[in-house]
Chain A
Amino acid sequence: MKRFLPALVCLCVAIILPFLLVSSSSGKISTYPNLPAPIAKEKILITSAGQAVESTVLKSIADQLNLESDYRPRALAADLYDYKSVVIVVGFSKNGLSQTIRSIKEENGRSKELIMEAEANAIPVILVDITGVLREDAITHSLLETIIPHITYYIGLKNSNYNHDVRGLLKENHIPTTLVNHINDIEVPFNSAYR
């Protein structure tokens, strides 16, 4: 039996580790099932902060809702002239970012410039986080920290752990928030922002 000790140690650590990593939610937050009145207009610029490939999901939802939109994951502040609202899908992807010529720092800077420009031009910014528990890394969090103070509306998933106190940040900045159970449930609150 002694010879199986290293295997057992690895197995035990693998079993215990998930319980150690899961942290409780940082507190309650008032949420809307959907917005009572539209806050944004078409044409929509759907972009990504962190270049996660699942940002395309928002383009697909927008198409299904017949919302006029462009999916430009690498859009710059200068591209905003043609749009009346911005939807940012947050989530850091190393593989997605390697498709661009930008570094993480540059991607963070691009996102910041984009929302600053939108704010300056009174263009509403909707932040969507559909990654839930799957992308709770430091880079995604730093992007959330950069973007949240400047957004108009936040749509996220209920199953997020929010290790990094994202809920506190939303509360602090009085951002209207909608949390949904599944990605497909985003359609209703997203539609409510426009219609």
Chain B
Amino acid sequence: MKKNDNHTSIMIGIILVIIGILLPTIVEGWSTYMIENLEGSTLLMDSGKLVIISILYVMKYCIIFFFILFGGILIIYGNFSRNGNLLWQFLYAMLMLLIFFIYNYLHKEGFSYISHLLTLAFLLFVQHFIPRRKNFYIIYSILLTFILLAVAWMQLIPWLSKFGIGTDDIATSIKIIDQYLNDNYLLNTLASLFFILFLIISVILTFLVYLLNKRIIAMEKIQENEMELKATRMALVESKVHEEINSLVHDLKTPLSTLEGLSSLIKLRLKGRGESSIKEYLDRMGSAIQKMNDMISEILYENIKQPISIKELLEYVTSHLILSEKNIEIIVKLEDYLPLICVNKIRFSRAISNILENAISSIGESEGTIRVSVRRLNHQVVFEIMDNGRGIETSHIHSIWEEGFSTRNSSGIGLSFVKSVVENHHGTIRVSSVPGSHTQMNITLPIHEEGGETYEYNDLSR
């Protein structure tokens, strides 16, 4: 992407340089107008015309050299990624001098190399104060315009002619005619004034850009620090909330233990009596209490895992899904003789539910199918969950696992939770998607080895 941008920048730069070199030929009428009016100015002894021609000359000079110098910066920056090193600066200067040589050779206007060198010196100096940001080219072009205006007026200062400045054709004619008409008082005053004015504007502008840039950097740092502080505060609050929930869930265990104890006591009291239906109810109550106890344990301790059949797990997951008013079909396909997997049932079910909920949301109100297939692959079990929803944008495919990333204004923690749960079970998760066609999530989990390390409920129930 960046390489393409560089190529575009170089291409635009080359085009601008070529336009700059060919511009005198393109605007030949402009030169004719200046020559005719210079003749008129001399014959009519009209200094006013001379001032107009001087302004036209400055405009022509600025336009031509703006194209060349701006094109040059696009060519060089395109190659060297604006890193501001010495190499590109020297290369820029050399490239520009070469282009000026070609220009002078083609047009034989005799533009002064001394003026070009001064322009380059000033440009190379000020560019260090222009922030390397998205507005770099805009700021650079504004500064370049003011520098060129200053240099163009400098070409017309007669007393600088002896230093080889302003040796080009039109500038020479203007200065000679001004000498005849005004003994050079006009241009020595006017051109010097404008030269100084535009030079001061360039310097002030550079200084302001530099100050503004410093201020922006400082503001950005403050913002960054504020964001970090906010994130830390959020994490702290989250951890406190998590702690509170854990504590609440843990507190549920106490009344459950009381219930369990009381149901056992009633069972003992009923021993020997013939109330079989009550005994059956009590057994079912005990089993439900035990189940709830196990669930609380799994919520509290993520490392608690139990061997579970995949069928049972998926039944548990799909039974909790809400598909009312949706035109979605869920097809579950399991390979025969699948081994047990060792998972934290509550957390892993939540992870699978999250994926299914995402799939449902991706299909939306339209008709769709979610296929869940599970198969064995060597010592692993592969869950494949595929939906024919709208898919994921290619640019988002790597961001979906990031905490807080969401395209649906949700919390953006769903998939990051899924990933953390899968990784906690020593598994892997991969996503592939074709926007507008489908999304497929593949979860790979190691199968439960007999005698492997698992936690028993009863041992851990508290």
Which chain A residue shows the least CB distance to B45? Answer: A60
Known contacts A130-B176, A134-B172, A184-B180; A6/B42 CB under 8 A: no
The answer to whether the Cβ of B304 comes within 8 Å of any Cβ in the partner chain is no
**Structural contact, B167 and A17, CB atoms closer than 8 A:** no
The answer to whether the Cβ of B161 comes within 8 Å of any Cβ in the partner chain is yes
Which chain B residue shows the least CB distance to A159? Answer: B162
Pick from A22, A98, A131: contact of B31, CB below 8 A.
A98
**Residues of B in contact, count (CB < 8 Å):** 45
**Structural contact, A3 and B128, CB atoms closer than 8 A:** yes
The B interface is mostly helix, strand or loop, or mixed, namely: helix
Tell me how far the C-beta of B77 lies from the nearest C-beta in chain A, rounded to whole angstroms: 14
The answer to whether the Cβ of A65 comes within 8 Å of any Cβ in the partner chain is no
**Structural contact, B173 and A2, CB atoms closer than 8 A:** no
Known contacts A14-B117, A60-B42, A94-B169; A137/B110 CB under 8 A: yes
Which chain A residue shows the least CB distance to B124? Answer: A7
The answer to whether the Cβ of B90 comes within 8 Å of any Cβ in the partner chain is yes
Tell me how far the C-beta of A35 lies from the nearest C-beta in chain B, rounded to whole angstroms: 22
Known contacts A59-B43, A134-B161, A184-B183; A5/B125 CB under 8 A: no
Known contacts A57-B42, A184-B183; A93/B125 CB under 8 A: no
Which chain B residue shows the least CB distance to A54? Answer: B176
Which residues in window 110-154 of B have CB below 8 A to A? 110, 113-114, 117-118, 120-122, 124-125, 128
The answer to whether the Cβ of B201 comes within 8 Å of any Cβ in the partner chain is no
A3-29 contact mask (Cβ, 8 Å, vs B): 1 or 0:
111111111011001100110000000
Pick from A9, A54, A134: contact of B167, CB below 8 A.
A134
B19-46 contact mask (Cβ, 8 Å, vs A): 1 or 0:
0000000001001101100110011010
CA A60 to CA B167, docked complex, whole Å: 24
The answer to whether the Cβ of A53 comes within 8 Å of any Cβ in the partner chain is yes
A129-140 contact mask (Cβ, 8 Å, vs B): 1 or 0:
011011101010
The answer to whether the Cβ of B157 comes within 8 Å of any Cβ in the partner chain is no
Tell me how far the C-beta of A88 lies from the nearest C-beta in chain B, rounded to whole angstroms: 16
**Structural contact, A99 and B128, CB atoms closer than 8 A:** no
CA A17 to CA B122, docked complex, whole Å: 17
Known contacts A7-B125, A11-B118, A17-B113; A60/B180 CB under 8 A: yes
Q: Which residues of B contact A182 (CB under 8 A)?
A: 179, 183
**Structural contact, B176 and A14, CB atoms closer than 8 A:** no
Q: B residues within 8 Å of A by Cβ?
A: 28, 31-32, 34-35, 38-39, 42-43, 45, 84, 86, 89-90, 92-93, 107-110, 113-114, 117-118, 120-122, 124-125, 128, 161-164, 167, 169-170, 172-173, 175-177, 179-180, 183
7 A-B interface contacts by CB (under 8 A): A54-B42, A57-B42, A59-B42, A93-B172, A94-B108, A95-B109, A184-B183
Which are the 5 A-B pairs with shortest beta-carbon distances? Answer: A14-B117, A10-B121, A6-B89, A7-B124, A11-B121
Known: A10-B118, A21-B164. 9 other contacts (CB 8 A): A4-B125, A7-B125, A9-B90, A13-B117, A17-B113, A52-B172, A54-B42, A57-B180, A134-B176
